[in-house]
């Protein structure tokens, strides 16, 4: 946000926020347009920018003179764009959707938009209409027909049903009202954009559970799942809250709740760097984002150290030093890569702040009903701020009365709005589905949190200053490691044909081993496992052979000799060994490949060790011809349980 800090934004957001129970969601991207320009190119451009949210199929509906032109394709937005170029939909009002299927197979019939059987309404939807079967049954009895397996079609027909029942003085007034009335009957979740054949310049949207944002333009307005869809056209945005319906025209919009209370819109200007969503000279976003890490790490630290350089400072925690001193325990919750960041944070906070930490998968925590001490601080980490399980874990912790904090990269996201306080990463938009710069920035911020909490307890002034110096040096060290990209590519080229990899590390390098394995498997589809190096002997050592390379993460600290012994155990069984380790150990370690990282403070070593792993995974995937930015079966933001 341009003008607001985390605290103020939280205030602005939280004041109006209606709490809803967490349910499951579709993960998809939607964009709708109404205005003075031709809708089609704006919608297609927006879909391309939203494609990271899901890429099974995509569709568009544009209102022409007397009918909708609907084009839908299974596959990527490029395939839709090619079909749209032939169909040439003309009109200034339209909606579109890129899908990650959960409900109904990946077929053209199930692809959004869904048009009501009377042809009056076209609708795109993120979410799950849980009671769609009963709505469908009711509508079939009334003569409405269905052509897809989706729940969404029940909603487009339900809107048509309510519209047909309204006294038709003017189509304009009935449209939004019919949407609102329909939503009163819907159980489940939705972010929707709807257009009506009778209303040439009107777009209606509503949100419950899935993000929906209005882009306020010059004689045009846009409705989308996130800002990236329209940031080229406008930076003025309104974040819709759950339970709100918006009725949009080219020159304005009105928001109300589905229970008909008026809502005062707060237009905010977002700070959006358009270069974040452009590839520039890079081949794909993952490569670009790996190389953006020095800048992302600088941004995570900017203005966050005390003048005397002995501790970190955060503006948005909303907790005084006194309150933080009473924290007896920290519970960290996240999913996927962000969960790995939590594991590193556990190590850092326990070591430097001496506060006991537990790490939970958000998806487990939310249903586990674990006993938690009353002075526990619940801390979630989420790049997108939209991961459904992390959001639900946060809500569950709040419901139980715990203080909550979040580290997130997404200003205005659901998690940013729900948490009591937090820290923005300022890493810039992460488009590649595999998290890279967000992960290292999360670790850096965790180290700063450990420092801050440590300095409120037993960490000395001198130790604080040493740690601040170490943190400040990280971006330059990362730049140096990135210079080895060609060397790491040559290793990847030689090893990409292997079918199994082990990633092994001890202490804070264990989560980095997990992350290295996750990165490799998700983008190259090579099977990989991360393990604590010493645990290897309790099972995984059975996998070691000439065909199973092990990637060892070595730190120069007191456990170095132990890790070296583990390397020997692998070598003795003819397993190829790739080591990521400090310069001074190079001679001592008998590795087949050795990637050097600088000798640094223990608190920042995990960040540096991550960079070669990202490059190894990236170049292996490229060598195997994978779609690095959009790996199969995945989507960037996991908003389904």
Least distance CB 510 / ligand F6R (angstroms): 17
From 500, 503, 548, 546, select the one nearest 524 (Cα to Cα). 500
Choose between 310 and 387: whose C-beta lies nearer to ligand F6R: 387
Using CB positions, name the residue nearest to ligand F6R: 336
Tell me how far apart the alpha carbons of residues 150 and 112 are, in angstroms, rounded to a whole number: 9
Choose between 220 and 629: whose C-beta lies nearer to ligand F6R: 629
Q: Is 210 in the site for ligand F6R (CB under 6 A)?
A: no
Choose between 4 and 406: whose C-beta lies nearer to ligand F6R: 406
Least distance CB 213 / ligand F6R (angstroms): 17
Q: Is 638 in the site for ligand F6R (CB under 6 A)?
A: yes
Q: Which stretch binds ligand F6R (CB under 6 A): 108-116, 197-205, 321-329, 335-343?
A: 335-343
Asked about 636 being catalytic, the answer comes back as: yes
Least distance CB 96 / ligand F6R (angstroms): 23
Contact 112, 121 (CB under 8 A): no
Q: Is 610 in the site for ligand F6R (CB under 6 A)?
A: no
Q: Is 382 in the site for ligand F6R (CB under 6 A)?
A: yes
Question: Which one among 102, 157, 337, 441 touches ligand F6R, defined by CB under 6 A?
Answer: 337
Of 14, 28, 400, 574, which is the active-site residue?
28
Give whole-number Cα distances, 558 to 62, 104, 532, in Å: 65, 54, 16
Least distance CB 413 / ligand F6R (angstroms): 9
Q: Is 383 in the site for ligand F6R (CB under 6 A)?
A: yes
Tell me how far apart the alpha carbons of residues 314 and 19 are, in angstroms, rounded to a whole number: 27
Least distance CB 165 / ligand F6R (angstroms): 42
Q: Is 419 in the site for ligand F6R (CB under 6 A)?
A: no
Q: Which stretch binds ligand F6R (CB under 6 A): 272-280, 384-392, 506-514, 582-590?
A: 384-392
Question: Which one among 384, 507, 550, 620 touches ligand F6R, defined by CB under 6 A?
Answer: 384
By the 10 Å C-beta count (0-12 exposed, 13-18 middle, 19+ buried), 588 is classed as exposed
Question: Which one among 335, 431, 444, 468 touches ligand F6R, defined by CB under 6 A?
Answer: 335
Q: Is 629 in the site for ligand F6R (CB under 6 A)?
A: no
Choose between 310 and 639: whose C-beta lies nearer to ligand F6R: 639
Tell me how far apart the alpha carbons of residues 111 and 108 are, in angstroms, rounded to a whole number: 5
Contact 421, 405 (CB under 8 A): yes
Tell me how far apart the alpha carbons of residues 369 and 365 are, in angstroms, rounded to a whole number: 7
DSSP bridge pairs for 578: 551, 593
Asked about 28 being catalytic, the answer comes back as: yes
By the 10 Å C-beta count (0-12 exposed, 13-18 middle, 19+ buried), 118 is classed as middle
Give whole-number Cα distances, 458 to 231, 308, 355, 577, in Å: 46, 18, 11, 40
Contact 445, 306 (CB under 8 A): no
User: How many residues at the interface with ligand F6R, by CB under 6 A?
Assistant: 15
Neighbours of 164 (CB within 10 A): 15
Q: SS3 breakdown of the chain: % helix, strand, coil, rounded to 5?
A: 40, 20, 40
Q: Which stretch binds ligand F6R (CB under 6 A): 104-112, 199-207, 331-339, 592-600?
A: 331-339
Site for ligand F6R in 463-522 (CB under 6 A): 518, 522
Choose between 129 and 416: whose C-beta lies nearer to ligand F6R: 416
From 505, 561, 496, 545, select the one nearest 529 (Cα to Cα). 505
Least distance CB 444 / ligand F6R (angstroms): 15
Of 48, 288, 630, 636, which is the active-site residue?
636
Choose between 111 and 383: whose C-beta lies nearer to ligand F6R: 383
Q: Which stretch binds ligand F6R (CB under 6 A): 37-45, 143-151, 333-341, 529-537?
A: 333-341
Q: Is 616 in the site for ligand F6R (CB under 6 A)?
A: no
Stretch 89-108: interaction string toward ligand F6R, x if CB under 6 A: --------------------
- Residue 583 makes CB contacts below 8 A (sequence gap 6+) with 596, 597, 598, 599
Least distance CB 514 / ligand F6R (angstroms): 11
Contact 427, 299 (CB under 8 A): yes
> Helix, strand, or coil here: 489?
helix
Choose between 359 and 518: whose C-beta lies nearer to ligand F6R: 518
- Helix residue ranges, H only, 419-508: 437-455, 461-472, 474-482, 485-495
Helices 336-352, 509-524: crossing angle, 10 deg rounding? 170
Least distance CB 615 / ligand F6R (angstroms): 15
Give CA 275 to chain center in angstroms.
19
Contact 469, 310 (CB under 8 A): no
Q: Is 387 in the site for ligand F6R (CB under 6 A)?
A: yes
By the 10 Å C-beta count (0-12 exposed, 13-18 middle, 19+ buried), 32 is classed as buried
Q: Is 390 in the site for ligand F6R (CB under 6 A)?
A: yes
Question: Which one among 128, 186, 434, 449 touches ligand F6R, defined by CB under 6 A?
Answer: 434
Site for ligand F6R in 521-540 (CB under 6 A): 522
By the 10 Å C-beta count (0-12 exposed, 13-18 middle, 19+ buried), 168 is classed as exposed
Q: Is 376 in the site for ligand F6R (CB under 6 A)?
A: no
Least distance CB 613 / ligand F6R (angstroms): 12
Least distance CB 317 / ligand F6R (angstroms): 20
- Footprint on this chain of ligand F6R (rule: CB under 6 A): 335-338, 382-384, 387, 390, 434-435, 518, 522, 637-638
Known catalytic residues? 28, 636
């Amino acid at each position: 946000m341009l003008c607001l800090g985390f605290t103020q934004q939280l205030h602005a957001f939280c004041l109006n926020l209606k709490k809803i129970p967490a349910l499951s969601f579709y993960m998809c991207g939607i964009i709708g347009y109404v205005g003075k320009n031709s809708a089609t190119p704006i919608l297609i451009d927006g879909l391309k920018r939203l494609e990271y949210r899901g890429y099974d199929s995509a569709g568009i509906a544009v209102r022409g003179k007397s009918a909708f032109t609907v084009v839908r394709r299974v596959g990527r937005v490029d395939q839709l764009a090619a079909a749209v170029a032939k169909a040439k939909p003309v009109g200034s009002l339209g909606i579109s959707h890129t899908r990650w299927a959960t409900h109904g197979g990946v077929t053209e019939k199930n692809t959004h938009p869904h048009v009501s059987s009377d042809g009056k309404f076209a609708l795109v939807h993120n979410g799950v209409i849980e009671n769609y079967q009963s709505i469908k049954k009711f509508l079939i009895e009334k003569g409405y027909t269905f052509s897809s397996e989706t729940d969404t079609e029940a909603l487009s027909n339900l809107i048509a049903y309510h519209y047909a029942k309204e006294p038709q003085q003017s189509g304009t007034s009935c449209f939004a009202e019919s949407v609102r009335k329909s939503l009163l009957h819907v159980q489940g979740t939705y972010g929707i954009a709807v257009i009506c054949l009778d209303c040439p310049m009107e777009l209606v949207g509503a949100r419950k559970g899935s993000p929906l944002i209005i882009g306020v333009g010059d004689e045009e307005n846009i409705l989308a799942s996130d800002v990236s869809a329209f940031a080229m056209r406008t930076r003025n945005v309104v974040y819709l809250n759950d339970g709100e319906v918006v009725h949009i025209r080219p020159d304005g919009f009105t928001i109300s709740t589905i229970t008909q209370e008026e809502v005062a819109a707060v237009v905010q200007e977002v700070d959006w760097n358009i270069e974040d969503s452009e590839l520039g000279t890079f081949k794909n976003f993952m490569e670009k984002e790996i190389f953006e890490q020095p800048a992302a790490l600088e941004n995570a630290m900017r203005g966050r150290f005390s003048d005397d350089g002995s501790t970190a400072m955060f503006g948005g925690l909303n907790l005084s030093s006194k309150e933080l001193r009473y924290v007896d325990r920290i519970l960290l919750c996240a999913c996927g890569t962000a969960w790995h960041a939590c594991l590193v944070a556990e190590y850092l906070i326990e070591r430097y702040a001496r506060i006991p930490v537990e790490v939970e998968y958000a998806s487990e925590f939310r249903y586990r009903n674990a006993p938690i001490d009353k002075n526990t601080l619940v801390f979630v980490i989420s790049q997108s701020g939209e991961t459904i399980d992390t959001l639900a874990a946060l809500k569950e912790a709040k419901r139980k009365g715990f203080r909550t904090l979040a580290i997130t990269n997404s200003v205005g996201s659901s998690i940013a709005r729900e948490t009591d306080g937090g820290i923005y990463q300022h890493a810039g938009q992460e488009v590649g589905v595999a998290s890279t710069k967000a992960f290292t920035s999360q670790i850096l911020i965790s180290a700063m949190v450990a420092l801050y909490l440590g300095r409120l307890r037993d960490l000395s002034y001198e130790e604080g200053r040493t740690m601040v110096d170490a943190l400040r040096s990280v971006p330059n060290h990362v730049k140096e490691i990135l210079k080895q990209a060609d060397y790491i590519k040559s290793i990847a080229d030689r090893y990409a044909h292997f079918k199994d990899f082990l990633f092994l590390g001890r202490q804070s390098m264990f989560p980095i081993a997990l992350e290295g394995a996750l990165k490799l498997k998700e983008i190259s589809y090579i099977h990989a496992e991360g393990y604590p190096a010493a645990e290897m002997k309790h099972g995984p050592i059975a996998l070691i052979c000439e065909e199973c390379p092990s990637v060892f993460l070595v730190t120069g600290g007191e456990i170095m000799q132990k890790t070296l012994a583990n390397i020997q155990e692998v070598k003795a069984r003819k397993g190829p060994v790739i080591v990521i380790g400090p310069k001074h150990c190079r001679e001592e370690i008998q590795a087949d490949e050795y990637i050097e990282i600088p000798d640094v403070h223990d608190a920042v070593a995990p960040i540096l060790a991550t960079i070669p792993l990202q490059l190894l995974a990236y170049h292996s995937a490229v060598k195997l011809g994978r779609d690095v930015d959009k790996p199969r079966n995945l989507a960037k933001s996991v908003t389904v349980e």
